[in-house]
Amino acid sequence: MAIFDVMGPIMIGPSSSHTAGAAKIGYLARCVYGKPVQHVRITLYNSFAETGRGHGTHMALLAGILGLHVDDARIRHSFALAREQGATVTFEEVLDPEKHPNTAVITFTDAGDRHPFVVEGISVGGGAVKIVGINGTRVDFSGKHNLLLVAYADVPGMMGIIGDRLAERGVNIAYAQISRDRNTRAAMAIMKLDQPCPDAVAAELKADHHVTDVVTIPRLGVEYERTEED
């Protein structure tokens, strides 16, 4: 643990897991989705469903989806903010013992898209979160690293290509995961990087005809949490 994990985060109350963690899940989901929000369905599971109302969990999830940080006083006004931005939102509350106690599944739909975009996150305590699913693919990242997510049709050599592009610009990979959907053969590579992913790398990867989507997310620490500011 770090001293600033004890002395922080600076956050909107009342709960680090159910308010700050919820806002962070929403924020990461927004980053992964990467488009203006038209309609979003938020499904809260278990403890989020049972005690979320008293902890502002619904407001916090929505606030994060709209781009607010954990210490933003506008979290409590996120419903009004969504209306202003023209985004519509629906909620579901579900009990499912198979899911982590603090789980949220966020489903983005856009009139222009054939399929909804689904992000699943869990709040693991003290404001720390994990994104555990993207469109049915199992993933595992927290926002503590710079991220490069590459969705592609599963072909040999993709990891090599991604690694080469990053190495050419001096970016080091700290951790890497790949997962694949058995049925669709859609694959996803998640690279946790020591430096932010350069735009040029994202553009080069996007140009590869096997690649369907590229998302880069700078580590949340630098600008997301005020205690992390340099």
Radius of gyration of the chain (CA): 17
Please say whether the beta carbons of 171 and 197 come within 8 A: yes
| 56: contact with other proteins by CB under 8 A | yes
| 35: contact with other proteins by CB under 8 A | no
| 144: contact with other proteins by CB under 8 A | no
Q: Using CB under 8 A, count the residues that bind other proteins.
A: 42
Residues 9, 64, 121, 198: which binds other proteins (CB under 8 A)?
Answer: 9
| 146: contact with other proteins by CB under 8 A | no
Which one, of 6, 3, 2, lies nearest residue 126 by Cα? 6
Residue 17 CB, nearest approach to other proteins (Å):
9
| 54: contact with other proteins by CB under 8 A | yes
Q: Encoding tokens for residue 44?
A: 């809260």
Phi, psi of 112 (to 5 degrees): -85, -5
Q: Encoding tokens for residue 79?
A: 């419903």
- Amino acid of residue 21: G
| 192: contact with other proteins by CB under 8 A | no
Residue 75 CB, nearest approach to other proteins (Å):
7
Residue 76 CB, nearest approach to other proteins (Å):
5
Residue 219 CB, nearest approach to other proteins (Å):
13
- Amino acid of residue 201: V
* 3-class DSSP state of 105: strand
| 77-96 positions binding other proteins, by CB under 8 A | 77, 79-80, 91
Residue 210, Cβ density class (10 Å: 0-12 exposed, 13-18 middle, ≥19 buried) = middle
Binding residues (CB under 8 A) for other proteins: these are 1-16, 19-20, 50-51, 53-56, 58-59, 71, 73, 75-77, 79-80, 91, 125-127, 226-230
